[in-house]
Amino acid sequence: MTGNGAANAIEALKAVRDGLDVIGDLSRYAEAGWPAIPKDDVERLKWWGIFLRRQSEGQPGFFMVRVRIPNGIASAAQVRELAAISQELGRGVLDVTTRQQLQLRWIRIEDVPELLARLQRVGLTTLQTGMDNVRNVVGCPLAGVVRTELFDASEVVRALTRRVVGNRAVTNLPRKFNVTITGCVENCTHAETQDLALVPAVREVEGRHEVGFNVLVGGKMGSGGYRPAVPLDAFVTPEEAPEVCLAVVAVFRDYGPRQSRSKARLSFLLDSWGVVRLRAAVEEQLGRSLPRAGRDARQPGSSDHLGVVPQKQAGRYAVGLWVPVGRLHAHQLMEVARLSEGYGEGEVRFTTGQNLILPHVPEDRLHALLQEPLLRDLPPDPPPAWRGLVTCTGTDYCNLALIDTKRRALALARALEGRVTRPLAVHWSGCPAGCGNHGVADVGLVGKKVRRGAEVAEAVDVYVAGRAGPNPVVGVKLLEDVPCDALLPVLEALLRWGNFDELRARLRPASPQPDVPASEGSTIPLADLPEGGARVVRVAGQAVAVFRHNGTVYAVQDTCPHGGASLAGGSVDDGHVVCPAHGYRFCLSTGRCQTDSSLALRTYRVSLEGGRVTVQPPEEV
């Protein structure tokens, strides 16, 4: 690691001993009770997914236990055991998270050793689901069965998980590290919100198509707001993906900032270094170079995979069930396990939208499944006002939350039923940490407290038009300090009449871009164009990006033909400009796109005279 000294309490306690080592004291704490747990070990228990929680009912001393479910894929036996543990050791309350995990509520420290042993017997673990670790690796919940996928990436998720869980080389990161790996083209995992995302891509190698992943880095939702991940300009095959992921993690571990917890995510290292330097560090860690990014194979838009979905396997269907604000009860989960065995192949899948899927249902059993009583509580076709609802835990069980997200979200959705006719995403985060992924929703709500006279009330800031996917958009804050009791007419107006697609078009590009000096004319001093730098000039009414690379001056159209970003804000590498929004590479001399051969830039001739650069109008070329 670099000399980023321990400047906060968490770094200090990690310097004393690894968080995984607290397991040696668990039996003692189970016998003595929760008040006997030292403050530092309350933090270290989070390395084992065990979180001391303040309950809304005012009963201290209970824990939340977070269970790792790679790719969100679980067996009926695992789901049944989770339901049984919740019923017998808790109060029968579980939450599906936006990372495809399950969280068990109302657990006593006295019961945690038994809980961990029972999970281990069915092949589950809680390891490294909290604190400064690689968290649960998410993936498409229909991996291996959805017809549109480029390939099944779930085995890559499992392979990376095997190399992470219990590996002390990755248990002391500067901050949490979120990863998604997907071969799905329907943008179902919010890839741009992740520290590291592997998304489906295709490249041409000696006249043939090779499928794999493009690599995105530096996304986040909390720690200052939504920052979409940006391309590393690298292509990896499924076979080499786990190694490349670990190399990125190692670079973050060794060089990531550690002074402030609020500025310790990978995105802050990226801000300091830039993409080119980060890529070079990853290649140095690997001991080899990485090929340039391929063509992004993802489609526009996104899917929640709800409803009846035909699988690629003939005569088989997946049935996606809506879970109201991700909250399940033990008896419901037990029934889910039964249905998965009775109608499918004993498999249950959880989604980043806090829902679940029963795959592998034969066509002749589909009608009977849809008549099951449980599907009245967990419908495959929820009303539009309900369908896109996502919430964080809220003040029910979270120490950080400022508002009661789940109850308020459900009450408002019920009130809007029948008034809203189009399915839109409404995401609630109970605090700025952003666990509800509010930044990628049509309407995102962030909880806060406001003073109204002598009283303190629950309120939200309202964001609109956010999106992840190939054309990510950072949502804009539309309203501030809206009391939760006054939200109904606000939400109804937005959901009925908000033109979010038009607003997103106005807000793109989402990726942060440096300020690039612009000139009104077509001539600039050569001294104002540093090596590796860019300026924007106007030529015949068009924006032209002028670059200086290896002593040569190039001029190309400034607008990327793929996503509309300003290429002057991109990086220059080996004679190519890399689009700052999506990583498409364009040759500075020919304008040809290396990423997608169907795209090309207009190039302009330049002249140098008297220490000035002049870009020639098109008619003079």
* Catalytically active residues, by annotation: 66, 175-176, 430, 435-436
Please name the amino acid found at residue 53.
R
The answer to whether 533 and 613 have CB atoms below 8 angstroms apart is: no
The answer to whether 359 and 318 have CB atoms below 8 angstroms apart is: yes
Please name the amino acid found at residue 389.
L
C-alpha 455: how far from chain center: 36
Q: What is the DSSP letter of 541?
A: T
Work out the number of other CB atoms within 10 angstroms of the CB of residue 506.
9
The answer to whether 140 and 153 have CB atoms below 8 angstroms apart is: yes
Distance, in Å, from the CA atom of 26 to the CA atom of 39, rounded to the nearest integer, reads 14
Strands 196-205 and 585-587: unpaired
Q: Give the residue among 456, 184, 160 at the shortest CA–CA distance from 318.
A: 184
Q: Give the residue among 398, 229, 362, 210 at the shortest CA–CA distance from 291.
A: 210
Is 141 exposed, middle or buried, given 0-12, 13-18 or 19+ CB atoms closer than 10 A?
buried
Task: Name every residue whose Cβ is closer than 8 Å to that of residue 379 and which is 6 or more positions away in sequence.
Answer: 321, 322
Q: What is the DSSP letter of 303?
A: -
Query: Could you give the angle at the alpha carbon of 500 between the alpha carbons of 496 and 504, nearest 5°?
Result: 175
Distance, in Å, from the CA atom of 328 to the CA atom of 55, rounded to the nearest integer, reads 17
Distance, in Å, from the CA atom of 414 to the CA atom of 412, rounded to the nearest integer, reads 5
SS3 234: strand
Please name the amino acid found at residue 288.
R
Distance, in Å, from the CA atom of 392 to the CA atom of 611, rounded to the nearest integer, reads 58
Distance, in Å, from the CA atom of 426 to the CA atom of 466, rounded to the nearest integer, reads 10
* Token reading at 306: 């709800």
Task: Name every residue whose Cβ is closer than 8 Å to that of residue 445 and which is 6 or more positions away in sequence.
Answer: 426, 427, 428, 429, 436, 438, 460, 461, 462, 463, 487
Q: What is the DSSP letter of 527?
A: G
Distance, in Å, from the CA atom of 130 to the CA atom of 132, rounded to the nearest integer, reads 7
Q: What is the DSSP letter of 466?
A: -
